[in-house]
């Protein structure tokens, strides 16, 4: 019959169909068909099928550094061609039938069958010892990460509870999960021996301010830690959990670009590719680091708005809906009618560097100890790379670990190779910039950082970024409401209880430099740490059980202000910044800048006044009275070290006048 296929052609087609679909031994009675043996696991048959040329096309190699079978990380049966048998079946826990695995909270994930959790994400901290730590790979790192600040985020609540009177010291007590340091070293600043899970007790009629604040924070503040997958509901927030929350890159939209034919390409949350990376881009860090001190947006050159009626007249918006906000929420430019950018990106970002070009493995993974605050875990300092007025960089961190992406050439110049794109950057050295004999000498740098006739340098007393910060988003007026007529889940346990949180702010000011002493004893910029006013609505939806009250009772001392301030590195570094101006900190000879300078010293202004429910008016940019009494509770690291400027320092500043 015309067009009919011969038995030989039929045999060839049948053989190739088997080749394309499964591991098989193909035989035929036709002498022109050869035996073909395929040795491919069933994982690859579905996720990376062969094309018409017999080439695998599909899922990416997740671990390019070392050949690993799929089941080495994920588990499963690589010999079965039946999906339900090849895959690890889901846990029979009842809540898995009601919700998506990646929406589970930390305590809920603890109940999931470890084999199934490993199948979905070998990097989750509950199973990473088998996944990332298996095959003799990263077991030591996994153990450190599990106890890192990024995992338990105890600092998110520690100081807030201290300011609100819920605990009597500023050290880590509660976090995303219970942890114990098996080998504690309490000589390290800010370390503790154990941390419990943050799970506030039910509210009663005798609830205190601290109790209400706990319920607000557990439902609003625990969105970013790597012991779970996050909320997975907003653009810009999509990520994984555990090791893969950093090392498996997600796009802002959470959509897959993988060649895996089994992965949907039009619905989140999926990583961009099925590929681990150590070249982690800044945008991946931004999936978590956009709150708190807002260092992610600031580093990239944009900020949060103050809300309707509190924005500049002609702002340039980011134009991208991320983190649960619309496309007009983030501001990229304060005034589109002029020719300059008031909120430029950090100079490191502008040059093409990424977060991991500065921050080390120790900064991110930790050292296995439990720190109360992120600053205790961070080892990198500006002078580690740039040196100071006394010496050039030794290419070592503050804890004497080597920067493996930096080197010196024969002329002694320091270079850095970007970890993401491989671009090589020159690293300026302060000592050369201030040396008149150096070809790199700059008079402005010598004036600011050099040593005077009395042997004094600003670098003896100030952190580098105190002057090199160009702007920072100071938020004044954090107004939060806990509505007991509505229910909401705790972000650590998933347990739903009365108390729906909401919040809003009033003012955001980008040009305020208010000085503090930091934990290293040097003067730093500060940020208002939640100038927090709480309102609690009763179960009837009307009665105000608490009416716009500030935190009072910090450290358990009743009546002491719980207004906060914290020393901060704003991550808006420029070689010459607006905060570099002498007149920002020192009085002019004609005293014309006294009001502005006194604000820098911490005495406040009348710009941001708010009257609480008791009729008391608060200056929200004030740290000190004119009698040098502190009006804020610091709390981070060690409150006896980090504090507002003292009388001796300010009196000394008053004696130094500038033109």
Q: Are strands 25-26 and 36-37 parallel, antiparallel or unpaired?
A: antiparallel
Amino acid 30: pLDDT: 45
The whole-model pTM stands at 0.91
Interatomic CA distance for residues 457 and 451, integer angstroms: 5
Interatomic CA distance for residues 548 and 534, integer angstroms: 5
Q: What are phi and psi of 601, to 5 degrees?
A: -70, -15
Return the number of other C-beta atoms located less than 10 Å from residue 566's C-beta.
26
Query: Do residues 240 and 248 make contact, with C-beta atoms less than 8 angstroms apart?
Result: yes
Interatomic CA distance for residues 73 and 600, integer angstroms: 54
The DSSP call for residue 102 is: G
Interatomic CA distance for residues 44 and 102, integer angstroms: 24
Query: Do residues 324 and 234 make contact, with C-beta atoms less than 8 angstroms apart?
Result: yes
Interatomic CA distance for residues 317 and 445, integer angstroms: 34
Query: Do residues 514 and 234 make contact, with C-beta atoms less than 8 angstroms apart?
Result: no
Q: What are phi and psi of 56, to 5 degrees?
A: -70, 130
Handedness of CA 135, 137, 139, 140 (dihedral sign): positive
Total count of residues recorded for the chain: 659
| Residue 616, both tokens | 């008391």
Three-state DSSP state, 488: strand
Q: Which residues pair with 482 in a beta bridge?
A: 501, 536
Amino acid 26: pLDDT: 38
Amino acid 16: pLDDT: 43
Vertex 381 angle, CA 377 and 386, to 5°: 160
Amino acid 637: pLDDT: 54
Angle, in degrees to the nearest 10, between helices 209-220 and 155-163: 160
Burial of 516 per CB tally in 10 Å (0-12, 13-18, 19+): buried
Interatomic CA distance for residues 311 and 332, integer angstroms: 12
Find, among 507, 68, 510, 573, the residue nearest to 348 by Cα. Answer: 573
Q: Which residues pair with 304 in a beta bridge?
A: 330
Query: Do residues 565 and 533 make contact, with C-beta atoms less than 8 angstroms apart?
Result: no
Query: Do residues 634 and 566 make contact, with C-beta atoms less than 8 angstroms apart?
Result: yes
Amino acid 2: pLDDT: 47
Identify the segments of the chain with pLDDT beneath 50: 1-2, 5-37
68: left (phi over 0), alpha (psi -120 to 50) or beta: beta
Alpha helices in 97-221 (DSSP H): 106-109, 114-120, 139-146, 149-152, 155-163, 209-220
Query: Do residues 156 and 222 make contact, with C-beta atoms less than 8 angstroms apart?
Result: yes
Q: 610: which residues sit within 8 A by CB, 6+ positions away?
A: 477, 506, 531, 533, 617, 618, 620
Amino acid 12: pLDDT: 41
């Amino acid at each position: 019959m015309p067009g009919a296929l011969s038995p030989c052609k039929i045999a060839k087609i049948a053989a190739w169909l088997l080749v394309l679909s499964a591991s098989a031994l193909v035989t035929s009675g036709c002498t022109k068909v050869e035996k073909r043996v395929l040795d491919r696991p069933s994982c690859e048959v579905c996720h990376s099928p062969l094309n018409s040329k017999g080439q695998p096309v599909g899922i990416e190699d997740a671990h390019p550094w070392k050949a690993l079978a799929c089941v080495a990380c994920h588990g499963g049966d690589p010999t079965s061609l039946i999906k339900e048998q090849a895959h690890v079946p889901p846990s029979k826990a009842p809540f898995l039938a009601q919700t998506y695995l990646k929406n589970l909270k930390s305590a809920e994930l603890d109940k999931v069958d470890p084999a199934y959790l490993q199948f979905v994400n070998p990097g989750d901290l509950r199973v990473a010892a088998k996944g990332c730590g298996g095959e003799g790979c990263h077991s030591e790192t996994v153990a450190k990460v599990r106890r890192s600040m990024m995992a338990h985020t105890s600092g998110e609540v520690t100081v807030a509870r201290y300011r609100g009177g819920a605990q009597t010291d500023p050290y880590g007590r509660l976090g995303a999960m219970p942890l114990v340091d098996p080998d504690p070293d309490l000589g390290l600043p800010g370390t503790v021996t154990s941390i419990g899970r943050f799970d506030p007790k039910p509210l009663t009629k005798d609830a205190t301010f601290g109790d209400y604040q706990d319920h607000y924070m557990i439902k609003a503040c625990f969105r970013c830690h790597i012991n779970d997958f996050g909320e997975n509901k907003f653009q810009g927030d999509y990520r994984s959990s555990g090791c893969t929350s950093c090392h498996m890159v997600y796009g802002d939209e959470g959509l897959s670009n993988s060649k895996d034919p089994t992965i949907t390409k039009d619905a989140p949350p999926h990583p961009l590719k099925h590929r681990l990376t150590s070249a982690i881009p800044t945008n991946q860090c931004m999936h978590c680091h956009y709150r708190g001190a807002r260092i992610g947006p600031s580093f990239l050159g944009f900020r949060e708005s103050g809300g309707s009626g509190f924005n500049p007249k002609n702002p340039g918006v980011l134009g991208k809906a991320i983190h649960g906000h619309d496309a007009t929420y983030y501001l990229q430019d304060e005034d589109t009618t002029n020719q300059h950018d008031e909120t430029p990106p950090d100079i490191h970002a502008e040059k093409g560097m990424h977060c991991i070009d500065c921050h080390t493995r120790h900064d991110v993974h930790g050292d296995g100890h439990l720190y109360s605050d992120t600053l205790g875990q961070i080892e990198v300092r500006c002078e580690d790379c740039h040196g100071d007025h006394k010496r050039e960089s030794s290419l070592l961190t503050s804890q004497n670990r080597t920067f493996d992406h930096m080197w010196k050439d024969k002329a002694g110049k320091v270079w850095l190779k970007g970890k993401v794109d491989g671009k090589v950057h020159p690293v300026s050295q302060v000592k050369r910039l201030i040396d008149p004999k150096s070809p790199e000498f700059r008079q402005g740098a010598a004036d600011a950082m050099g040593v005077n006739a009395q042997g004094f340098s600003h670098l003896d007393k100030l952190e580098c970024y105190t002057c090199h910060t160009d702007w920072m988003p100071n938020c004044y007026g954090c107004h939060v409401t806990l509505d007991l007529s509505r229910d909401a889940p705790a972000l650590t346990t998933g347990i739903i209880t009365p108390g729906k949180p909401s919040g809003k702010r009033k003012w955001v000011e980008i040009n305020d430099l208010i000085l503090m002493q930091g934990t290293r004893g040097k003067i730093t910029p500060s940020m208002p740490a939640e100038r927090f006013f709480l309102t609690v609505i009763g179960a009837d939806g009307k009665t105000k059980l608490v009416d716009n009250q500030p935190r009072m009772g910090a450290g358990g001392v009743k009546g002491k202000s719980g207004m906060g301030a914290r020393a901060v590195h704003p991550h808006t570094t420029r070689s010459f910044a607006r905060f570099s101006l002498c007149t920002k900190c020192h009085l002019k000879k004609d005293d014309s800048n006294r009001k502005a300078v006194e604000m820098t010293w911490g005495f406040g202004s009348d710009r941001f006044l708010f009257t609480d429910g008791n009729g008391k008016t608060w200056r929200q940019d004030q740290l000190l009275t004119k009698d040098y009494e502190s009006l804020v509770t610091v709390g981070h690291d060690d409150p006896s070290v980090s504090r507002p400027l003292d009388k001796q320092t300010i009196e000394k500043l008053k004696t130094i006048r500038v033109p």
